[in-house]
């Protein structure tokens, strides 16, 4: 019995305890009525509180869930939603700062407001951004003009205006088009001696490159809009919390249960 008890208190057993306890805690809420559980705010609030309890009471080395923890969660969540910093505006980010000292309170049972507020702005900005590529890719790019595009995520900053955000997208789309255009020119050069070779002018290759990028970006936004539902984005929010507590602890939502796994 002593060996079993020692194993149950070991770090290797902690993930199992977390999963079973999470499932049990959430199952208890199912008896409170379907109408309440169907309410996203009520459901998310309960999940958040349960996750907080698990992290504070079940984690073998918990961090203190305080204002500093809250600040880290907020940054992680925003970064996860907009890692390339081409969706949110700086004004959005500035407004989100009001939640830097609120998320820890929400984890401890206060009204959940941060997620719903940030997610609402994110969906709005995503819909705005999702149409920018059409006008940008509708006309040829001027490749003789010297321009710089920042691809290093550590050096990116949030656009201050909608015009600045559109220009960020223009430069990125231009870079993608130029890459495909250059590859097409290389293929043309390699295959020009073949008997069945059909020469295409640079203007044709550039237009075809833009069309390939357009289809690529269409698929990109279609996928984001399909998969980034409120439930999925809430999972991202909760994982911002678990990841701040421990980078190896992950939240996996199930249809009517909550699971936390530690890698």
Q: Tell me: the pLDDT tens digits for 119-160?
A: 999 999 999 999 999 999 999 999 988 888 888 888 889 999
| pLDDT tens for each residue of 180-207 | 999 999 999 999 888 888 999 999 999 9
Domain residue spans of the chain: 1-63+246-263, 132-226
Distance CA 70, CA 105 (A): 8
Distance CA 258, CA 256 (A): 7
Identify the pLDDT of residue 27: 36
Token couple for 173: 């789309």
3-state secondary structure of 32: helix
Q: At what angle do helices 40-58 and 14-29 cross, to 10 degrees?
A: 150
Residues in the chain: 263
What pTM was estimated for this model as a whole? 0.81
Query: Side-chain half-sphere of 232: how many Cα atoms within 13 Å?
Result: 11
Q: List Cα–Cα distances, 49 to 18, 23, 29, 229, in angstroms.
A: 14, 13, 12, 21
What's the pLDDT band for 99 if we cut at 50, 70, 90?
very high
3-state secondary structure of 174: helix
């Amino acid at each position: 019995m002593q060996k079993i008890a020692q194993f149950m208190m070991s770090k290797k057993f902690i993930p199992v305890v977390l999963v079973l306890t999470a499932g049990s805690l959430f199952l208890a809420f199912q008896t409170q009525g379907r109408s309440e559980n169907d309410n996203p705010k009520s459901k998310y609030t309960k999940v958040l509180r349960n996750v907080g309890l698990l992290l504070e009471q079940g984690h073998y080395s918990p961090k203190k869930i305080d204002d500093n923890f809250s600040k880290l969660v907020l940054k992680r969540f925003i970064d996860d939603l907009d890692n390339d910093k081409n969706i949110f505006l700086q004004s959005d980010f500035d407004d989100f700062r009001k939640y830097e000292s609120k998320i820890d309170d929400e984890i401890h049972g206060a009204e959940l407001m941060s997620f719903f507020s940030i997610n609402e702005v994110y969906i709005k900005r995503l819909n705005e951004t999702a149409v920018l590529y059409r006008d940008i890719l509708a006309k040829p790019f001027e490749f003789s003009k010297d321009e710089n595009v920042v691809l290093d995520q550590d050096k990116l900053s949030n656009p201050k205006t909608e015009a600045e955000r559109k220009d960020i997208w223009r430069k990125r789309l231009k870079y993608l088009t130029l890459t495909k255009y250059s590859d097409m020119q290389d293929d043309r050069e390699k295959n020009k001696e073949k008997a069945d070779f059909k020469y295409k002018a640079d203007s044709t290759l550039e237009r075809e490159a833009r069309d390939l990028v357009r289809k690529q970006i269409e698929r990109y936004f279609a996928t984001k809009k399909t998969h980034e539902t409120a439930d999925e984005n809430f999972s991202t929010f909760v994982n911002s919390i678990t990841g701040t507590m421990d980078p190896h602890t992950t939240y996996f939502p199930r249809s009517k249960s909550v699971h936390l796994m530690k890698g």
